[in-house]
A and B are shown apart, each in its own frame.
Chain A
């Protein structure tokens, strides 16, 4: 009985070893069929251009992939232009199909899609080093093609099934999870029209079906190792916040006060300010300057797409008060005031304020602060802040 058990264990162990050897051999032949690891090691990035079909309409398409797993693509999905990017771990997209015009962060299910999209070759290149686990399921006839079936599990736990042509060792099909309107859905991807370029073998045709969707990628041209700006993969700002990006940086600030008696501006203080994106679509300024007292101010600028208005949240650490302003850009000038703000069903009884920001050039802009005691009928000058970009 005991010897039977030992023999059984040995058999299972041997089978496992044989299967692992067979898997290594298949993957090795697959990499070789795709041009070999040495050739792929020379590829830092690829810029692919071609045609993309969605909803039965073919349009131009471009994608950039890097050996760091980064991905950037511009495509047309039916009537909408879509941008998608992935930094190797996380991604973002501008996809008007979601009725959102601004960039949004991808979900984990979407990140899984971009893990698949971003592979330079297939994920089998250096898969062990990248923490992926492959398991040979067996050999089968799939739609008339003899294939090796390999289950590939990513570090995230998401898995996909690859069908490698047993004769050519090129990928024939991949079953994985894709997303349809952010929801995960099973997908079948087919790879065809393998062509050799720079010693690499690449499928120039990829067709995918998921849910009721059908997508076809046709490669027309590939450029290797192009010069790349890493900012390409960083999440884009909304176009509205991009319009305020001139404020980003470190500044010397001259603070002026208004003399009603003399009817002119006079210098009050000289200080510094730092303005940076505290979140993807929120600019934050920290500044302290002296009027009568020292005013430490934190201002946050954001855009509310629903109302089509900017919002400025100003915290005064001298008084401990927060004020909200609503604004817009007109003729390059940003204005915001708090005359429309209602707090707890009531309008704040304090005096109203208005801020006007006027860019002069890339190194200068001015901020005018005014106040009103008649709900914005008349505005009185308060302070003027003149920003000059720090030279370093």
Chain B
């Protein structure tokens, strides 16, 4: 009897486990709720097993016009959210947060968040940041620095803060570019405000400050949320310093970087190492964190990333070295392969495949393996300048640029 109940219990537990795992995978598969995906790694946990690359090509599901902006396409359930814009003339226009049907790309609602940010150099107008989503709300930051919380169902504004007016934040040269992190009840981001408000954790319910720290203008990169040494950490690369905070805002450690002003965000590799890369020499540094101490692991010149962050997979870093797609060893920094022709593109990783979007909108699927550059398939997904990295949910890749967005079925 006991044996019977023990077996039943084990079976029951296994079933619960399997169901939970299924739910977790389903949940993960249905979401791309923030900049660079669920853990900001640019990695989807979905599987591409069964795709016959010799016969299958990315298949267009839908493509629609979209106003200018650089926000990634974020998704939860059957809805997709992003930032878009509309110009009235050469000096006026608006930025919007907008929602769409995932299946069709049909617009469901749009909510004006600010006047449009016009890029002074012509790189592209509109918001430069990706909204972050929780169960009921979505949070976004405009190019001019208006941070707002909205209801997911209709985009109605719950609260809005003008960072420049309220906290004296200086508008960065190419607009506010940091994508906020949601952590439990907090919304954490670079504000670049006066009076010790370089980094701020807002109460996401009302926009009130919970904690703030540091001096300095807002950088162009976004913070990393990760767990190192069993400690949840929020990591900012600002100026020439890398900062780590716990969720309460206590400084865990800092590190003096060999370069400043990086645009690509910090990338977690191998549980306790962080890859930082910028266009200036030396190009990259990998920092190892042990017992809340950061020390240099290696540095090198083989990867100099500009504005799009690299991805890490099985001991190797894949990213854009200036304008060449490159694979380097995360142990030695040695370049394993280089492929030019994609300009200053972007990438993400699904399973063991890189989904690369060239800076002119070509989507290329490449094996994430160090042995050699192996291209599986490609499609001209968009036309024109494409600087926003793809998102991936439920076997489909979602891409956008300054004029269009599109969905392609991969699996």
Interface residues of A, Cβ cutoff 8 Å to B = 53, 55-58, 78-79, 143, 190, 207, 209, 211-214, 216
Contacts and interface: CB of A to CB of B under 8 A. Distances in A.
A148 B322 CA distance: 25
17 contacts: A53-B360, A55-B385, A56-B343, A56-B359, A56-B386, A56-B387, A57-B384, A78-B121, A78-B123, A79-B122, A207-B323, A209-B323, A209-B324, A212-B279, A212-B304, A214-B322, A214-B359
A209 B322 contact: yes
Contacts of A55: 122-123, 385
Given A79-B121, A209-B323, A214-B323, A56 B344 contact: yes
A52 to B, nearest CB: 13
Secondary structure type dominating chain A contacts: strand
B343 A214 contact: yes
B338 interface: yes
Given A53-B343, A56-B360, A212-B322, A78 B122 contact: yes
Contacts of B306: 212
List 4 A-B pairs, minimum CB-CB distance, nearest first: A79-B122, A214-B323, A56-B359, A212-B279
Contacts of A207: 323, 340-341
Contacts of B279: 211-212
Contacts of B123: 55, 78
Nearest to B263: A212
A56 B385 CA distance: 5
Nearest to B345: A56
A190 B340 contact: yes
B343 A143 contact: no
A143 B338 CA distance: 7
Contacts of B304: 212
Contacts of A209: 322-324
Interface string B123-134: 100000000000
A58 B360 contact: yes
Interface string B269-283: 000000000010000
Nearest to A190: B340
Interface in B346-363: 359-360
Contacts of B384: 57
B140 to A, nearest CB: 24
Given A55-B123, A56-B387, A78-B122, A214 B338 contact: no
A57 B385 contact: yes
Contacts, number: 40
A216 B304 CA distance: 19
Contacts of A190: 340
A57 B338 CA distance: 22
A55 B359 CA distance: 9
Interface string B360-387: 1000000000000000000000001111
A255 to B, nearest CB: 51
Contacts of A56: 343-344, 359-360, 385-387
Contacts of B122: 55, 78-79
Contacts of B343: 53, 56, 214, 216
A145 to B, nearest CB: 11
Contacts of A212: 279, 304, 306, 322
Given A55-B123, A56-B360, 9 more contacts: A55-B122, A56-B344, A56-B359, A79-B122, A207-B340, A207-B341, A209-B323, A209-B324, A212-B322
A214 to B, nearest CB: 3
A190 B338 CA distance: 13
Contacts of A213: 322
A209 B387 CA distance: 17
Nearest to A53: B343
Contacts of B360: 53, 56, 58
A211 to B, nearest CB: 7
Nearest to B279: A212
B341 to A, nearest CB: 8
Interface-centre pick from B338, B340, B341 (highest chain A CB count, 10 A): B340
A110 to B, nearest CB: 21
Nearest to A79: B122
A207 B338 CA distance: 14
Contacts of A214: 322-323, 343-344, 359
A79 B118 CA distance: 13
B380 to A, nearest CB: 13
Contacts of A143: 338
Contacts of B386: 56
A293 to B, nearest CB: 57
A55 B384 CA distance: 11
Interface-centre pick from B343, B344, B360 (highest chain A CB count, 10 A): B343
A78 B123 CA distance: 8
Interface in B326-348: 338, 340-341, 343-344
A286 B236 CA distance: 67
A53 B345 CA distance: 14
Nearest to B322: A209
Interface string B45-80: 000000000000000000000000000000000000
Contacts of A79: 121-122
A211 B323 CA distance: 10
Nearest to B385: A56
A211 B281 CA distance: 10
Interface in B298-316: 304, 306
Contacts of B322: 209, 212-214
Nearest to B372: A144
Interface in B19-65: none
Nearest to B305: A212
A174 to B, nearest CB: 14
A156 to B, nearest CB: 25
Interface in B163-200: none
A63 to B, nearest CB: 21
A105 to B, nearest CB: 25
A15 to B, nearest CB: 32
Interface-centre pick from A207, A212, A216 (highest chain B CB count, 10 A): A212
A79 B121 CA distance: 7
Contacts of B121: 78-79
A216 B345 CA distance: 14
A80 to B, nearest CB: 8
A55 B341 CA distance: 14
A213 B322 CA distance: 7
B220 to A, nearest CB: 13
Nearest to A205: B341
Interface string B379-401: 00000111100000000000000
A290 to B, nearest CB: 57
B366 to A, nearest CB: 16
Nearest to A212: B279
Nearest to A80: B122
